[in-house]
Amino acid sequence: MNSLDVLLQAKPVMPVMVIDHIDQATPLASALHKGGINVFEITLRSECALDAITLIKKELPNCLVGAGTVLNPEQLKQAIEAGSDFALSPGLTAGLLEFAGKTEMPFIPGVASPGDVMLALSYGINAMKLFPATQLGGEGMLKALYGPFPEVMFCPTGGISADNYRSFLSLPNVACVGASWIAPAALAREEKWDEITFLAKAAVDNA
């Protein structure tokens, strides 16, 4: 599997999950899975994130579990050791791209400009994360990038919501969107798993 396959399997939405406590991991992933989500992004923003990746992969082996907010080669190495199926970054550096190229891990870098896209393409990557999407111009930015880079597929993340995600998905160069709204930390803390399932199902069914 390569990074483009990951985005295509994530269609239409990839939940951006911040897991504060390890006991939230399986119930949260299960709630999303029940709503029709099979690809997860676990952000490395908490101390238990790597353990959560390992646990979710064990409990839901048929799902793809990725590490998000990977900022450097060491974090990418840790994600691989935790059993991640893929990894995403909010940006890109030559060092991170070079390290990713030495592994078999599908890597989806974040881009914010045509120059970023060209750098990623030079490393053989054609699946990217536009971040922060709405702040960079949203749909207008993606339409502009389609002209010179029709072979690139994007997962726009940042400012995507239930109100605008369908417009992003209608673009020919958008495979999926980063969906933080279907896995809000507040609902996870309150263990409102049925509500999270409802949000996930609504996002999938209405895409």
Active site residues: 41, 129
The owner of tokens 């269609």 is 11
Q: Using DSSP, how many helices (H) and how many strands (E) does the chain show?
A: 10, 9
Q: Tell me the sheet residues that pair with 101.
A: none
Residue 191, amino acid: E
Helices (H), the chain: 3-10, 25-34, 49-59, 73-81, 94-101, 114-122, 138-146, 165-169, 185-189, 193-205
Buried b (16+ CB within 10 A) or exposed e, 135-160: ebebbebbeebbeebeebbbbbbbbb
The C-alpha atoms of residue 29 and residue 129 are separated, in whole angstroms, by 22
In 3D space, the residue among 71, 76, 110, 72 whose CA is nearest the CA of residue 90 turns out to be 110
The secondary structure of residue 46, as a DSSP letter, is S
The C-alpha atoms of residue 206 and residue 62 are separated, in whole angstroms, by 24
